[in-house]
Structure 1
C-alpha cells in the first residue's frame, strides 16, 4: 500500500511551529546519577541534543542521604547531608544542564507510613510532620543558594511531587492531602525566594480532568501560588505482561493530542490562569519501563509526530527518559530491555534518539507542515525538512510506503541536497542485536558493532537551478516506521587548480 503526498512549498509563508522539545528531558531517580554509565550517557546526549533542564524522581529518597533524624539529650533532631546531592548537581552543571526540581519522594524518617513504589522503594506517604518537610525544602534551597548562587537557583523550576492522582505514587491518591502538600511546599519555596517558579499537580491521565479542575480551583480559592501547570502524557493502552515485558498498542495520535488540548482548555477556563504555561514533565509512548516498543523504529516515527504537534499547546514536553540507566522495575537483564531511554545501555542510540536529533536541526520558520512532514527555513536561507511514517503494529502485514513529491522554491545557483535516513533496514540496532543472538551481556566488539549499526544512512546530491526553473522537485519514499531529515543548502563550488572530478568518474 502506498500513500502519495504532493507538497508545494511556498517561498515566504510562516506557519506556527513551536519546537519546545529541548527544554527538558527525563531521568531515572537521582541516585542513579552517581553511576559512571549514567554520566556517560548524559554526556553523549548533551553533546548533541543540548537539553536545557533535566527532571527525575528521588531527590529526597534515602539513597541520596539528604535527611537524617537522630536523638540527642532525649530529643529528636534533624541533620542534612548534601554530599551526594552536590556530586549530582555539580555533574549536571558540568554538562550544561539545569535541574527541573521534583520535590519527592518522602525520606523514610519523615514519612507517616511505609508504602513505597518501585524496586528502589521510594516512600509515597505524606510527611508525619509538615513543618519538618518544609524545613527540609528550605534547607536544600539555602544550600543551593550558597553553592550555585541565588541568581542561578531561581532559574530552576520546581514541581511538587509526582502523579498524586495514582494511589501507587501518593497514598490513597488523596486529593485534599496533596493540596495540603502543595500549599506547604510552595510556601516553603517562596519563603526562600519569591522569584522561584513552582507548579503542579504533576498528574497523569487517570481522572485527570477532575484533578486538574479541582487543583486550579483550590489554588484560585485559597490564593495559593501557582506559576505553571504540569501533567504527564503516555500513548499506550493497557499492557499484556509476558515474562519480564509489557506489550502495548499505541493509541491514535490525535487521541493523545486531544487529551493535552482538554487540559489546556481547563487551564484557560480560569481567568487568572488563562495562557499559563503547561509543561508536560513526562511523555512517551508506553508508561512501562519494560515495553519493547521503546527500542523500535515505530517508536521513533510516532514520537516524531508528537514532537511536531505538542508545541501547539504545551510550553515544553519532557521525553521520559534520556537513557536506560533506570531501575523502576529492577536492573535490566539486557541492553534492549524496553526501557524508556533515547540511548540504550552500552551507549547505543536508539531510533528515537534520531527523531530528536533531526528536530534539533530544523529551522525556526515553518514553510509547510502536515501530519507526516514539516519543512522549515533557517536564518541563512537553507531549507530543512523532516518526514515520518509510523505504521501501527496491528496494521495489515504488507508494505506501507509513503511517497512524497516536494517542490521547493529555489533561486538560481548550485545546491547540495543532504538526506539522513532512519528506518528498519538502515538504522535499527534492535534488529542487529537480535541477529547477533540477543546477547544479554554483549562483548566490546558487539557493542562497537551495534553503535555502528545505530547511525542514519547519509546521502548527498549536488544539483543546479537555472533561469526559468521556479521550483526544484525532490521525490522521497519512506518505508514503514521511517524517519528522514533533509537539508537543501546553496553552495559556492571550489575546486583546486587542476582538480577534475570527471577524470575519477564523478559527474557534477
Structure 2
C-alpha cells in the first residue's frame, strides 16, 4: 500500500520549529565514563552530532568514591575524594560537553536506609543528615568552581534527583521528603553562586500532574529557588516480558506530545512560573533497556517526529542515551539487546542515530512542517528537510511525499540520505547472521557497513522558479534531503558527456 501526498513549498513561508535536538544527551551512571568503549562511543557521537550537554545518574554513588567518613578523637568527620569526578568531567569538557548535573544518588555512609535501584545498586533513600548532604553538594560545586572557573560552572544546569515520584527511585515516593531534599539542595547550590540554575522535580509518568502542581505550590509558598522545571517522557505502554526482553506498544506521537502540553499548562497556571523553561531530561520510546524497539527503524521514525515538535513546548529534550555501555538491568548479552543507546556496543550506529545527525543539519528557519516532514531554508538559497514514515504494524506501508518547491532559477545539487528497513538496518544484518552474541571482527564490520544511510545525488536545473522533489519512504523510513545551489567550476577539458557513469 502506497500513500501519496503533495505539498507546495514557498521560501517566504514560516512554520513553527524550534530545533534543540542536540542540546543534551543522556548517559548511564557516571562511573561508566571511566571505560574505554564508553569514551569511544561518546567521541563518535560528538564528532557526528555534537551535543552541548550530557546528563546521567550516580554522581554521588559509592563507585565514584566521593564521600568518605573517618573517626578522629571519637568524632566522625567527613572528607571528599574528587579523583573520579575530575576524570569524568575533564573528559566531557574535552569532548565539548557541559554537564547537566543530576544531584544523586545517596552515598551509603550518608544514607538513611539500604534501598537501592538497578544492577549497580544506587541508594535511593533520603540523607540521614540533611546538613551533611548540603555540605556535600556545596563541596563538589566549590571544587568545580576552583577547577573549571566560576563562569563555567555558573553556566551548568543542576537538577535535584531522578524520578522521585516513583518508589523505585525515591523511598516510598515520599513527596514531602523529596520537597525537603529539593529545598535543602537548591539552597546549597545557590549558596555557591546565586547565578547557578537549579530545577526539578524530574518526575516521570505516574501521578505526575498532581506531583508537579504540589511541587510548584511548595516552591511558591516557601520561596524555594526554582529556575526551570524538569520531567521525563516515554512513548510506550505497559510491557510484556519474554526471557531477557520486554515488548511494548507505542503511544501515538500526539498522545506523547499531549503529556508535555499538560505539564506546560500546569507550569503556566502559576503566575510566578508562567513561561519558565521546561526541560525533558530523559525521553525515548520505551522506558526499559530491554525493549528491542530501541534498535529498530521504527524507533528512528517515531523519534524524528518527536524531534520536529518537542522544541515547540520544551526548552530542551535529552534522548536517553547516547550509547549502550549501560547497566541498569545488568550487562547486555548481545550487541542488540534493546538498550537505549544511539550506538550499539562495537560502535554500531542504530537507525535513530541518523535521526539526530539529520536534525543537526537543519536550520532554525522552517518553511514547512507537518506530521511527516520538517523543511528549513538554509540561508544560502537552498533548503534542507527531514521526512519520516511511522509504521508500527507489520507490512509495507509506503509513503511518497511530493514537494513543489519555490527556488531561484539555476543549477542545484540534490542529496538524499535514506535510512529504512532495507538500506540501513544493522539489526536485520545481525539477525541474518544468526544473532551472534559476540560478533567476530569481520562480522562486526559487516554489521557496521549495514548501518549506513543510502546516499543518492542528482543534478537539478530550475528554469521557471519551481522544482519538483519526490521523497519515497518505505515503512519506518527517515530521509534527509538538501537542495543546494551550485556554480560548476570544472577544470579545463573536463567533459562530462565523454565520461561513462558521470551523469
Q: C-alpha separation between the residues in 2 aligned to 1:151 and 1:502?
A: 59
Aligned-partner SS, 2:147 = helix
Q: Counterparts of 1:403-418 in structure 2 under 5 Å?
A: 403-418=400-415
Q: C-alpha separation between the residues in 1 aligned to 2:214 and 2:299?
A: 34
Identify the residue that residue 432 of structure 2 maps to in structure 1: 435
Q: Counterparts of 1:283-322 in structure 2 under 5 Å?
A: 283-322=283-322
Identify the residue that residue 34 of structure 2 maps to in structure 1: 34
Superposition deviation, residue 100 in structure 1: 0.5
Identify the residue that residue 23 of structure 1 maps to in structure 2: 23
Q: C-alpha separation between the residues in 1 aligned to 2:501 and 2:23?
A: 44
Structure 2 residue 54 is matched with structure 1 residue 54 = yes
Identify the residue that residue 474 of structure 1 maps to in structure 2: 469
Q: Which runs of 5 or more residues in structure 2 are unaligned? A: none
Q: C-alpha separation between the residues in 2 aligned to 1:398 and 1:250?
A: 17
Aligned-partner SS, 1:386 = strand
Q: C-alpha separation between the residues in 2 aligned to 1:446 and 1:148?
A: 43
Superposition deviation, residue 250 in structure 1: 0.4
Identify the residue that residue 419 of structure 1 maps to in structure 2: 416
Q: C-alpha separation between the residues in 1 aligned to 2:502 and 2:465?
A: 24
Superposition deviation, residue 506 in structure 1: 4.6
Identify the residue that residue 401 of structure 1 maps to in structure 2: 398
Runs of 4 or more off by more than 2 Å in structure 1?
Answer: 505-508
Q: C-alpha separation between the residues in 1 aligned to 2:13 and 2:470?
A: 22
Superposition deviation, residue 505 in structure 1: 2.7
1:485 aligned to 467, 471, 480, which one? Answer: 480
Superposition deviation, residue 11 in structure 1: 2.4
Superposition deviation, residue 411 in structure 1: 1.3
Q: C-alpha separation between the residues in 2 aligned to 1:146 and 1:109?
A: 26
Q: C-alpha separation between the residues in 2 aligned to 1:132 and 1:257?
A: 40
Identify the residue that residue 456 of structure 2 maps to in structure 1: 459
Q: C-alpha separation between the residues in 1 aligned to 2:486 and 2:423?
A: 28
Q: C-alpha separation between the residues in 1 aligned to 2:442 and 2:54?
A: 32
Identify the residue that residue 118 of structure 1 maps to in structure 2: 118
How many residues of Structure 1 are paired with residues of Structure 2 in the alignment? 503
Q: TM-score, normalised by structure 2?
A: 0.99
Aligned-partner SS, 1:499 = coil
Which string of whole-angstrom CA distances, capped at 9 and with x for unpartnered residues, describes residues 447-475 of structure 1?
A: 11211111100000002112xx2311122
Q: C-alpha separation between the residues in 1 aligned to 2:421 and 2:117?
A: 36
Q: TM-score, normalised by structure 1?
A: 0.98
CA contact (8 A) 2:381 2:408 kept: no
Structure 2 residue 447 is matched with structure 1 residue 450 = yes
Superposition deviation, residue 3 in structure 1: 1.8
Superposition deviation, residue 289 in structure 1: 0.6
Q: Counterparts of 1:488-503 in structure 2 under 5 Å?
A: 488-503=483-498
Superposition deviation, residue 74 in structure 1: 1.1
Which string of whole-angstrom CA distances, capped at 9 and with x for unpartnered residues, describes residues 319-356 of structure 1?
A: 00000000000001011110000000000100000000
CA contact (8 A) 2:11 2:377 kept: no
Compare 402-411 and 206-215 and name the one that shifted more: 402-411
Q: C-alpha separation between the residues in 2 aligned to 1:62 and 1:448?
A: 37
